[in-house]
Amino acid sequence: MSISILILTLNEEINLPACLESVKWCDDIVVLDSFSTDKTVDIANTFGTRVFQRKFDNFACQRNYAIDNIKFKHEWLFHLDADEIFTEELKEEMRLKISSEKYDAYRVPSKMMFCGKWLKFSATYPTYQVRIGRYPLFHFKQVGHGQREDLDINRIGTLQNPYIHYSFNKGFSDWFQKHNIYSSLEAKEIVKFIDSGRIKITWRNFFIFDPYKRRHMLKELSFFMPARPLIKFIYMYFFRGGFLDGIAGFNYCTLQSIYEYMIVIKIKELRRREKQLPI
């Protein structure tokens, strides 16, 4: 299949072997490592991947650096994380669809795994991210702690088959450490966005078929909601059926509520700092 794969890594010796095994069909795999101190690079070399290193600043810059500075073999480039597994169904769907001239990139859903269980309801499946695009046309822009495609939305198609995401493979301590950083970045982005006055809530967008557009509108609206952590838990656990995922669903919804609370209190911290008030 004429697809190259880019994997970003930082101390991923636990996740990387399974990830690379799932894409062994690909003849052009690149690992862009952020100077790991474990066996990540050794594992990547064992699998015969091309390895490059760059100090991490943010996800968008890291991916864009790869696009602009690394020569990939194929026209299409898939962005995969080390804690994600490619499926045969996704591979086959890509083989059938990506040759179309209609789109320059595709959204792909993911299956979130938690405590050995697929969170079909509490992880609000399907949630899409744009992961594959024409190289070197497709770039990213940084938004909060993550990245978003920098491409005309009309040039983006949607794939139905997911990859599998093992976000908790490195343990809860790692999850809390990462989300402490992510919540700071999200808080700064929200304050910046609100102060810019760019938000324009269009109510008809809540009822459009495209779940991608609807998700972005709901996120923007959430910036102004009181009791956001509680609302998020109620939404995920009751309205999205998280209770159907059992105890794993309850724990996951609780963690997401905690993450939302971290963002809220960090927004308040930023506002107090603006007014030069004690924290």
Q: What is the pLDDT of residue 195?
A: 81
Average pLDDT taken over every residue of the chain: 89
Q: What is the pLDDT of residue 193?
A: 78
Q: What is the pLDDT of residue 3?
A: 95
All CATH 3.90.550.10 domain ranges of the chain, comma separated, are: 3-165
Within the chain, residue ranges assigned H as helices are 16-22, 40-46, 59-69, 88-97, 172-196, 211-222, 228-234, 246-274
Residues 171 and 160: their CA atoms lie apart, in Å, by 29
Q: What is the pLDDT of residue 102?
A: 84
Q: What is the pLDDT of residue 130?
A: 93
CA quadruple 172, 175, 179, 182: dihedral, nearest 10: 180
Q: What is the pLDDT of residue 277?
A: 84
Q: What is the pLDDT of residue 41?
A: 98
- The model carries a pTM of 0.86
Q: What is the pLDDT of residue 32?
A: 98
Q: What is the pLDDT of residue 217?
A: 58
| pLDDT score of 79 more than 90 | yes
Q: What is the pLDDT of residue 151?
A: 79
Q: Give mean pLDDT, residues 30-38.
A: 97
- Per-residue confidence at 150, pLDDT binned at 50, 70, 90? confident
Q: What is the pLDDT of residues 188-211, one digit of tens each?
A: 988 887 787 766 555 555 555 555
Name which CATH class applies to 3-165.
alpha beta
Q: What are the C-alpha distances in Å from 269 to residues 16, 103, 217, 273, 279? A: 37, 42, 25, 6, 6
pLDDT exceeding 70 applies to what percent of the chain? 87
- Per-residue confidence at 99, pLDDT binned at 50, 70, 90? confident
Q: What is the pLDDT of residue 107?
A: 94
Nearest to 132 by CA among 161, 112, 111: 161
| pLDDT score of 214 more than 60 | no
Residues 49 and 34: their CA atoms lie apart, in Å, by 16
Q: Give mean pLDDT, residues 31-48.
A: 97
Q: What is the pLDDT of residue 222?
A: 62
